[in-house]
């Protein structure tokens, strides 16, 4: 079951991007027609655009995305390489609309999946107005950060850059100042310019509002691409699958997180339920690569898979506001991370 956004009301001052593309113009190309409709819909003084957060794995990108949007649209764990999809969150204010794109962490790929995720990250860079480079305060700036920023510096069309010193709540004031100095040194070393350097903590809520205003200040004038009140374009099935995967990642061994994927087999409201007592049925497969991993995921006498179900049900119910009956299965797809057929099937 994939939710379809409600049609925007007719009196909205700025139509969505889908509205802008509606209709036909024989004497204009599709691109020219959309551009002309965007120009018509742009309200003087209203700013809109796209920002993506990049950084090494576990740099706090997903947590920051959730903090800016004000809802959990991206899963966040202490396991590296958790994010596997480009996730868009919408931040709307009276005078602006900021579309936040959370991307997987750029990393040295070990599988075909890793290669595809890196390509996804690089492809996003050229499509945004601002890149927020996440540099966690509790880690020294190292070769991975240098490599990442150098890659951005070599873009033909370079968006505005903002350095985001994430996890500022985990360090002392003196360590924070040292970290900010290291970011400035990185500018000099690589010949890039950060429009702003913003320390913040998404977990503690420190400087998140300031970061939002900083990002909005760098956006061009433009239309609202999404209706008021919409916070993500992610299909409900994708959000549910990610919440199940988040629950499955908790407490597993280091080598297992990379091997876990979730596939929604069936999802829908149970028929013949009273209107005031709906129930959502979800059947999902937890995908692993080896039989030994299947045993770990199930746990002793099924203890781990039961805990995953309990945790995931609570999160899905909180997200959708509907009680959930969750049926979890564990399935082995041998070496799925390097098999194009399996990757395509799982949406990568």
Beta bridge partners of 342: none
Quick one: pLDDT band at residue 124, thresholds 50, 70, 90? Answer: confident
Quick one: pLDDT band at residue 259, thresholds 50, 70, 90? Answer: confident
DSSP assignment of 284-346 equals EEEEESSHHHHHHHH-GGGHHHHHHHHHHHHHHHHHHSS-EEEEEEEEE-TTGGG-HHHHHHT
User: Tokens for 337?
Assistant: 């991370």
CA separation for the pair 345, 273 (Å, rounded): 33
Q: What is the pLDDT of residues 64-73, one digit of tens each?
A: 998 999 888 7
Comparison of pLDDT for 36 and 169, the residue scoring more: 169
Rounded to an integer, the average pLDDT of 17-37 is: 45
Of 187, 189, 207, 190, the closest CA to residue 198 belongs to 207
Comparison of pLDDT for 156 and 147, the residue scoring more: 147
Q: What is the pLDDT of residues 40-84, one digit of tens each?
A: 456 778 999 999 898 887 888 888 998 999 888 776 655 555 555
CA separation for the pair 5, 100 (Å, rounded): 18
CA 258 to chain centre: 17
pLDDT for position 77:
58
pLDDT for position 71:
82
CA separation for the pair 148, 107 (Å, rounded): 9
pLDDT for position 113:
66
- For residue 38, give the 3-state DSSP assignment: helix
Is the model's pLDDT at 39 over the cut of 60?
no
Instruction: Evaluate whether 69 touches 22 at the Cβ level (below 8 Å).
Output: no
Q: What is the pLDDT of residues 179-232, one digit of tens each?
A: 999 999 999 999 899 999 999 999 999 999 999 999 999 999 999 998 888 888
């Amino acid at each position: 079951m994939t939710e379809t956004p409600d049609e925007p009301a007719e009196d909205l001052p700025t139509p969505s991007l889908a509205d802008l593309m509606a209709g036909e113009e024989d004497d204009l190309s599709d691109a020219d027609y959309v551009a002309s409709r965007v120009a018509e819909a742009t309200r003087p003084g209203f700013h809109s655009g796209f920002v993506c957060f990049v950084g090494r794995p576990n740099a706090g990108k997903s947590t920051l995305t959730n903090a800016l949007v004000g809802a959990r649209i991206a899963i966040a764990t202490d396991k590296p390489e958790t994010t596997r999809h480009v996730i868009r969150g919408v931040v709307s204010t009276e005078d602006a609309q900021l579309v936040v794109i959370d991307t997987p962490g750029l990393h040295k790929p070990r599988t075909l999946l890793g290669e595809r995720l890196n390509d996804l990250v690089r492809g996003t860079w050229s499509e945004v107005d601002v890149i927020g480079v996440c540099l966690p305060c509790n880690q020294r700036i190292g070769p991975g950060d240098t490599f990442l920023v150098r890659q951005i510096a070599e873009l033909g069309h370079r968006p505005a850059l903002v350095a985001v010193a994430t996890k500022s709540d985990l360090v002392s004031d003196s360590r924070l100042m040292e970290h900010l100095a290291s970011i400035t040194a990185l500018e000099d070393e690589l010949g890039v310019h950060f429009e702003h350097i913003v320390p913040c903590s998404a977990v503690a809520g420190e400087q998140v509002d300031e970061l939002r205003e900083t990002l909005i200040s760098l956006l061009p004038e433009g239309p609202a691409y999404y209706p008021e009140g919409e916070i993500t374009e992610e299909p409900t099935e994708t959000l549910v699958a990610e919440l199940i995967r988040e629950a499955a990642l908790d407490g597993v061994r280091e080598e297992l997180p990379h091997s876990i994927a979730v596939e929604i087999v069936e999802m829908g409201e149970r028929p013949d339920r009273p209107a005031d007592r709906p129930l959502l049925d979800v059947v999902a497969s937890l995908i692993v690569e080896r039989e030994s991993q299947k045993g770990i995921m199930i746990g002793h006498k099924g203890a781990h898979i039961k805990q995953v179900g309990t945790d995931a049900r609570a999160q899905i119910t909180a997200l959708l506001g509907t009680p959930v009956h969750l049926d979890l299965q564990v399935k082995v797809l041998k070496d799925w991370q390097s098999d194009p057929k399996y990757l395509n099937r799982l949406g990568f």
